[in-house]
A and B are shown apart, each in its own frame.
Chain A
């Protein structure tokens, strides 16, 4: 069972939710797909760390074979290639490793070499296996790291919690592709509704079963809750705007492991999500 946690913007509570759900399960895997700024490990402080390099292929030209036809330069949508003074220049950091230049070169002048773009770090924190994708600063795309992260857990029997990057762009699509259920975390503001709408549109596009978790809830009106009612979106629960929870979180503590009140809150949420996922899986097969 793979559960993805996403939101339209950063700071909504994706990591809070995915970390605590993973900690509340008897045994689980936590995958940090927010490879540009992974922070789940700050809470789990995993032990027995193992690093695995992630490499992509980038082009290199054999200047002797290149006749300057520029087929590759014109093909590259990211403009990672330039042909200057009878020489092909490759901009490694701009290249998205699509391999198109290699396919289209009529002179077979382009070959590929490996470039490291980041690492996958795995370790153990109590009942949770913690797997973190870390993209090197300045790299164009974290998608290859996310692909590898999710490929490695395809056969996983434990519950998997996927902490997604913020927004609804390529890296988020990649993160939710294999998910059985998506939890959308939303803030109780008009801005929060706008961001919720973005990810709501995405999960519908991907036909993913989903529900909304309302975070930072106050006594007053909640525009995100209204949005859910209007669109008949399942509300999974509410997390209060709470000083105690905020303090634990900013101290890098996992609420579920420190406070019985939150242990109960996230256990109940986990039970509900499992029930929803099973229900969705049953009704879709």
Chain B
């Protein structure tokens, strides 16, 4: 299963990024083969709607789950429409979160926040 984590750098020594839409990279990790690759997040420098664009790229990468500390409501709408599951990370370590995910210990992310730039939000 292909999972995605927003990260600060493009190496396995990096940490989970606190932002989803504006994370500099996404780690794409295959839980079966344990292969990893990194995707540049071209949405990070967007003027607006970064979450939407980042979510679109992840959907296009055919990931089945996203592990993230937080997610805005616009991005969540894209992710949900694509049928991808959102899980809440437990700390900033990639290894800990991958391990917890494999053991089925991660909870679904349910506290979706309104947009940070007066875009989303109702």
Contacts and interface: CB of A to CB of B under 8 A. Distances in A.
Contacts of B83: 85
B48 A87 contact: no
Contact of B49 (A79, A83, A84, A138): A79
B112 to A, nearest CB: 15
| Range class of the B interface residue count | 20 to 34
A76 B43 CA distance: 12
Interface in A17-39: none
Given A73-B56, A93-B120, A79 B81 contact: no
SS of A interface (majority): loop
Contacts of A140: 48, 118-119
18 contacts: A77-B48, A78-B47, A79-B43, A79-B48, A79-B49, A79-B50, A80-B52, A82-B55, A82-B59, A84-B56, A84-B59, A85-B82, A91-B52, A93-B119, A93-B120, A94-B52, A94-B120, A140-B118
A245 interface: no
Interface of B: 43, 46-50, 52-53, 55-56, 59, 74, 77-78, 81-83, 115, 118-122
A80 B122 CA distance: 16
A229 B81 CA distance: 60
A91 B43 CA distance: 16
Interface residues of A, number: 18
A188 to B, nearest CB: 31
A89 B49 contact: no
Contacts of A85: 81-83
Interface in A162-177: none
Given A93-B120, A94-B74, A83 B52 contact: no
Interface string A79-113: 11111110101010110000000000000000000
Contact of A91 (B49, B118, B122): B49
B119 A94 contact: yes
A94 B48 contact: yes
A85 B81 CA distance: 8
A91 B121 contact: no
B47 A138 contact: no
Given A73-B56, A140-B119, 19 more contacts: A76-B49, A77-B46, A77-B47, A78-B47, A78-B49, A79-B43, A80-B49, A80-B52, A81-B52, A82-B53, A82-B56, A83-B56, A84-B78, A84-B82, A89-B81, A94-B49, A94-B52, A138-B121, A140-B48
Contacts of A79: 43, 46, 48-50, 52-53, 56
A89 B78 contact: yes
A91 B55 CA distance: 13
A116 B82 CA distance: 29
A211 B115 CA distance: 39
Contacts of B77: 89, 91
A84 B81 CA distance: 7
What are the nearest 5 A-B pairs in CB distance?
A79-B49, A79-B53, A79-B52, A84-B81, A78-B48
Nearest to A138: B121
A93 to B, nearest CB: 6
Contacts of A73: 56
